[in-house]
């Protein structure tokens, strides 16, 4: 990615024909990918945003956008979806040991896992049960009362 960004920086600073091509590339890619894929790549906007040296203007570059897509999905296998599903199945351990009872942190983690799973073209049917079990690990007694109701 560093090599790609260095190359991109050169033509973006010049505003040359290559910069125009990169603009067209990103428009085509955004129109071609599914919403779950776009959502995952969007979260990594810093990887495909270049700042022109003279004006510090942010530019979303098509070549870097493509590289970000490739980096995210080149190793997308059944094994990786199996690992994501395993993480979703053990949300209660995540809540207890990593999030330390932070419901917002649990929700962010779960949302990210779901984005990854959806981007891989897969889904889960036991999210609600796993999330409910994880929420039971929250230490706030008021929250636990609300959850039990």
Give the pLDDT score at 75: 56
CA distance 105 to 134: 12
CA dihedral 102, 104, 105, 108 (to 10 degrees): 160
50 Cβ contact list (under 8 Å, min separation 6): 5, 8, 9, 12, 58, 59, 60, 61, 64
Give the pLDDT score at 16: 87
Domain borders along the chain are 2-73, 78-148
Give the pLDDT score at 71: 82
Give the pLDDT score at 122: 83
Question: Which residue positions in the chain have pLDDT lower than 70?
Answer: 74-79
Helices 2-14, 17-32: axis angle to 10 degrees equals 120
Distance, C-alpha 36 to centroid of its chain: 9
DSSP the chain: -HHHHHHHHHHHHHT-HHHHHHHHHHHHHHHHS-HHHHHHHHTTHHHHEEE-TTT--EEE-HHHHHHHHHHHHTT--HHHHHHHHHHHHTHHHHHHHTSTT-HHHHHHHHHHHHHHHHHTT---S-HHHHHHHHHTT---HHHHHHHH-
CA distance 41 to 113: 14
């Amino acid at each position: 990615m560093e090599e790609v960004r260095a190359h991109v920086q050169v033509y973006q600073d010049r505003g040359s024909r290559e910069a125009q091509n990169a603009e067209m590339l990103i428009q085509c890619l955004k129109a071609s990918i599914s919403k779950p894929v776009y959502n995952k790549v969007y979260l990594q906007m810093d990887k495909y945003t270049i700042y022109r040296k003279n004006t510090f203007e942010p530019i979303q570059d098509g070549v870097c956008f493509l590289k970000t897509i490739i980096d995210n999905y080149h190793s997308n296998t059944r094994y990786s979806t199996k690992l994501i599903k395993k993480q979703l199945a053990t949300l209660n351990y995540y809540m207890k040991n990593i999030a330390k009872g932070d419901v917002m942190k649990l929700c962010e983690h779960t949302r990210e896992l779901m984005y990854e799973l959806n981007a891989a073209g897969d889904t889960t049917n036991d999210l609600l049960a796993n999330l409910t079990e994880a929420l039971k690990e929250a230490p706030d007694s008021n929250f636990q009362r609300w959850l039990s109701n």
